Structure 1
Amino acid sequence: MKVKMQTLEGKASGDIELPEAIFGLEARADILHRVVTWQLANRRGVARPARERSDVARTGKKFGRQKGSGGARHGDRGAPIFVGGGKAHGPRKRTFEQSLNKKVRALGLKTALSVKAAEGKLVVLKDLELKDAKTKAVLASLGKLGIEKALFIDGDKPEAFGKAIRNLPHLDVLPSAGANVYDILNHDTLVLTEAAVAKLEARFNG
């Protein structure tokens, strides 16, 4: 699959060959759904448990006489009725982590890349190097490319470009190692650099 490559200033920079095995697969909603569900489930934190009677550090010694105090006959200070005691029937620890086969994860990423390519929402740039790492300069360059809401993926995360777009909504940048299905599908346009294409190809072939 041959795609025209551009510079960040909107000028043509030759063609690049995208491997069909990564960017030319058919769309599979079932695979994308499985991978996105796995990602979002693993982002959830652990539900914290309440400390129960056996978890609190309180004395178990009977602190008063059985009779004659005029009060109830109490024993363990860890009982739920006391301040600082264990909670009765409190929430238990819950983890939401899921497992997913590596082959399915790889197929999901390839499918997400292929979907963007098939929809015409894949842009390939020579690099993300900036002469002037200013937000205003980046906005002018992206205006020439017609990009408003996009995810940029480079070989390594570009520091200057990342700083220039960090205050702009709907624009994010990731290194190729952080490419994932959820973020790709969550942005209108996917922008890859030449280095990112090479690293993604090596990632799947290696």
Structure 2
Amino acid sequence: MELKRSTSAKESTLSVLEVVFGVKPNLPLLSQAVRVYLSNQRQGTSKVKTRSDINRTKKKWYRQKGTGNARHGARTPNIFVGGGVSHGPNGLRDWTRKLSRSQRNASLIAALSDRASQILVTNDMYELSGKTSEAVVFFSNLIKDAKDQRILVVLDEANNQVLRSTSNIPYILTTQVSRLNVYELLLADTIVMTEEAVRILEEKLTGEEKREKKMKPDAVKTVEKTVKKESKKELKNVVVKKVAEKTTTEKKVVAKKVAIKSTKPTKAVAEKTVKKTVKKEKKTE
């Protein structure tokens, strides 16, 4: 899979992953992603007045009987002109919607594949000095009938010069690759991207970035494992020693208590022995 690439010298192509830019678009998923994006743009603050909020007298409109008309009280109900609205929005609705990470990535891949023929890769826009006139000339030379199109500029990182150059041009929208969404991709007629932005998208949507973060050298892993095992063994030995010391000390304390009980008689026992000796002496007398 190849994309158009434009440089100051000549036009060429840039080879990209077909998994990201050459997939058959999933139209229901694209529709869902656009619906979620537009729903998240809503504030949800619209509110109407109920009959209790209307600034109108609560006096009975006309008498109960004798007019031939239906019975009515105040003129604030929803059936009268100028009355309140029933079951209307109250300004408390939450319009936020969410897509799972896999759905977001799949929808981005579908949008990029659908717009692959309209993507133009170039790094020349980094030469802009921040003037709007320079940006107008640059994009008119880069894209035919640029003023009649919607152009989306995708940068790999924030660049103040490019942002200043394009911020006052109504048909150009500048964004970063980290903020790219399906709605902006589908709305654009031409998409101008940097080479680094293309590579970042490929890494993000294929999961290579996560794999690189998770991968570690084998030597480091083995060293970490051995250190952990040794530390666990040392902890076990220390715990066993402490438990053994506790049990021996407890046994010694129990033995001392038993010895003390056997050697030192209580007061009651002493009194009994004294009484017995007194009785024996009386009998002998």
What's the TM-score once normalised by structure 1's chain length? 0.72
Q: Please say if residues 130 and 160 of structure 2, whose CA atoms lie closer than 8 Å, have aligned partners that are also in contact.
A: no
Q: Please say if residues 184 and 190 of structure 1, whose CA atoms lie closer than 8 Å, have aligned partners that are also in contact.
A: yes
Change in 2 beyond 3 A, CA 1:12/1:35: same
Alignment of 1:29-178 (within 5 A): 29-47=27-45, 91-92=89-90, 93-117=92-116, 120-146=117-143, 148=146, 149-178=150-179
2:34, 2:21 → 1: CA distance? Answer: 19
For structure 2, the residue ranges without an aligned partner over 5 or more in a row are 51-83, 210-285
Q: Which moved more, 1:91-100 or 1:21-30?
A: 91-100
1:178, 1:127 → 2: CA distance? Answer: 21
Provide, for residues 175-196 of structure 1, a one-character-per-residue CA deviation record: whole Å limited to 9, x for no partner.
1101100011111111111010
Structure 2 counterpart SS, 1:106: helix
Larger RCO (alpha carbons 8 Å, 6+ apart): 1
Aligned residues: 169
Higher share in helix = 2
Specify the alignment match of 2:3 in structure 1. Answer: 3
Equivalent residue letter for 2:17:
P
Structure 2 counterpart SS, 1:141: helix
Structure 2 counterpart SS, 1:26: coil
Q: Which has the larger radius of gyration?
A: 2
> Deviation at 1:127?
4.7
2:131, 2:100 → 1: CA distance? Answer: 42
1:155, 1:144 → 2: CA distance? Answer: 22
Confirm whether residue 192 of structure 1 aligns to residue 193 of structure 2.
Answer: yes
**Aligned-residue CA RMSD (Å):** 2.5
For structure 1, the residue ranges without an aligned partner over 5 or more in a row are 53-86
Equivalent residue letter for 1:128:
M
Q: Which moved more, 1:99-108 or 1:168-177?
A: 99-108
Provide, for residues 92-125 of structure 1, a one-character-per-residue CA deviation record: whole Å limited to 9, x for no partner.
32111122222111111111111111xx211111
